Amino acid sequence: MTESAAVQRHARAKVNLSLRVTGKRADGYHELDGLTAFAQAGDLVTVWDSDALSLEIVGPYAGALSQGAGQASGEPATENLVLRAARALATATGRPARARILLDKQLPVAGGLGGGSADAAATLHALCQLWGVDPGPARLAEIGLQLGADVPVCLHGYAAFVSGIGERLGPAPHLPEAHVVLANPGVELSTAAVFKALEGQVSGPVARWDAPPRDAAALADYLARDGNDLEAPARRLRPEIDAVLTALAARPGCLIARMSGSGATCFGLFAEAASAEAAAAQLAADRPDWWLRAARLIG
């Protein structure tokens, strides 16, 4: 068949600005509470009409992401979430699962940035346009939740307070202009291993705000009140994280440095793009073995 016009969607890096573990359910999943945002950095999903369903993975992390990897947090390794997303949408909308999908993998695998979930969400959005289907936001979130707890917030794509296992969203007021440097020391970290190392620690929910922080400095002050409960166990499992946090915090203009999600990627918060870009450039010169990106937060 003649190849159709391509549809593209960005799969943005999910950044857990704060994350608390508030309990553990009978089914083994942990209850979470926190503030999630997205950065203007990530993967790219491109889809075309086709006679069959296929997936090609390119980019610097294509080798790390075989079709048996790239699962959402806590999901068993069966097949890539992109293919699972395509099949789930096809089933839900009563149509054949036929598309050629290209995933340009720029985010580190198992890096704490929700890459697999973001890829699934981008695939759902792209295929809705390609196939001309519109399940509606609520139904699409249900489809996403079948794929993984992080997929609904990735479908949302903007800052939100999250709770439950990460699937319950309370939209946050828009974040002020702020920039991040994302840094990964080149190590993967199993989400399940980090939760196991948590050793039963339970916290209260993160504080909500009545009005959004007026600027990046105020956002940093707010974040300083709540941390990431997974940071300490992750640092025990991967001491390399200590060096990343220290290096980020030492850069001029860094307002706060913290690990994202279950790691090992960390972020430094900056008020200005120039400061973030300068910090990323200097860190890249000092640590060429690290993955680094400077990006604006999407609020």
Pairing between strand 53-58 and 160-164?
unpaired
210 is catalytic: no
Q: What length does the chain have?
A: 299
Alpha carbon distance 18, 24 (integer Å): 18
Burial of 225 by CB count in 10 Å (0-12 exposed, 13-18 middle, 19+ buried)? exposed
Q: What residue type is 92 in one-letter code?
A: A
Task: Could you list the beta-strand ranges (E) of 99-249.
Answer: 99-104, 160-164, 168-171, 179-184
Burial of 168 by CB count in 10 Å (0-12 exposed, 13-18 middle, 19+ buried)? middle
CB 169 within 8 A of CB 162: yes
Task: Output the CA torsion sign for 281, 122, 74, 58.
Answer: negative
Return the structure tokens found at 164. Answer: 């439950």
Which residues belong to the annotated binding site?
108-118
Residue in 43, 150, 226, 229 annotated catalytic: 150
Burial of 178 by CB count in 10 Å (0-12 exposed, 13-18 middle, 19+ buried)? buried
Which residues belong to the annotated binding site for ATP?
108-118
- Under 8 Å CB-to-CB from 135, ≥6 apart: which residues? 89, 92, 93, 128, 143
Alpha carbon distance 36, 151 (integer Å): 12
Residue in 14, 43, 104, 226 annotated catalytic: 14
For the chain, how big is the Rg over CA atoms in Å?
19
196 is catalytic: no
Active site residues: 14, 150
